[in-house]
Amino acid sequence: MKFTSLIAGATLALAPLAATAEKLSLAYWMGPGHPMNKAVFTPFAEALAEVSGGEMGVDLFPGGALNSVPPAQYGIMLDGVADIAFVIPGYTGDVFPKTGVITYPGICETAVTCTEALWRAKDIIEAEYDAVMLGLWGNNPPLLITRDKPVRTLEDLEGMVIRVTSTQDVAFAEALGASGVTQPVNVINQNLTNGVVDAIAIGPSAIGSFNLHEPGNYITTYFPGSGSAFVLLMNRDVFDDLSEEQQGWVREAASRSISDAGGAFYDRAAARGLQIARDAGVEIIDLAPEERARWDAIMAPLIEDLRAQEVGDTTAGAVMDVMIGQ
């Protein structure tokens, strides 16, 4: 069983742990001030200390202390660099195609409902990971942030390079006449500023978290897609090496409420992000109903094609139906 020792400045102060408490390491690449720490990571750590009576604890390693590359987080968990890691599956979407179905348009409209959709398909999704899933939640459907050109019509998208979260989302941009590229969220502010991309398709919570109101001058409040998925994963060998009692503590600490808190956080952060943009003078553009209908009409045959695609031992459509609750 791999447990980390305390490292100055990287340890969560929990009250009070037994002197012989065994510690699990939890890695995430955002800074310790990121709201996801307050919403999910710290509550999980506190819950584990509580349910174990102080016999188990968690050392948090924020800011990429164990690895700063967002797409590499699944790998460092598999390799045992961290016992637990925060992973965004969309960064390696080809590896997790069932999880990626959550991005398809029409599944959910808020972070809470996207989290509910993911949990309806949790058994299907969890099988994609060589790990123990401790948390699973979603964020809000994307909007479009641009610097130089407002997007009011389909024609405005022609030729644009749009950053998207997941490889599955590239097809959405291309269907609308743009080019889609995947990029980790920690580089998109700079890339929009420097003109590496013309637009960013992302959930509105990212506006505040990554200061996207600074390079962005326009926000179009609709872009095809549903939410993105987020997971908290534990190294399976580490989990298997725990006693049955310790495994129970970890499972209890990683209750559904932890995931629900992640989804609820994103809904609050989405509203806050849009307000930050308004206060900064960013122009907010709501597509006219007839214009949105044009976009949706173009997307409809693509969605049908995507539903028919195989994802592992099933089809994307079958996973989508489970997420929707059909």
Same domain, 255 and 116: yes
**9-56 pLDDT tens trace:** 344 444 444 445 689 999 999 999 888 899 999 999 999 999 999 999
Residue 11 belongs to a domain: no
Residue 55 belongs to a domain: yes
When pLDDT is cut at 50, 70 and 90, the band that residue 76 belongs to is very high
Same domain, 201 and 237: no
**252-311 pLDDT tens trace:** 999 999 999 999 999 999 999 999 999 999 999 999 999 999 999 999 999 999 999 999
pTM for this predicted structure: 0.90
Residue 7 belongs to a domain: no
Residue type, 53: G
The CATH number for 189's domain is 3.40.190.170
The mean per-residue pLDDT over the stretch 53-77 comes to: 96
Residue 131 belongs to a domain: yes
- Is residue 4 predicted with pLDDT exceeding 60? no
Same domain, 62 and 169: no
Same domain, 87 and 208: no
Domain that holds residue 174: 143-226+282-324
Residue 12 belongs to a domain: no
Spatial distance between the Cα atoms of 245 and 230, rounded to a whole number of angstroms: 27
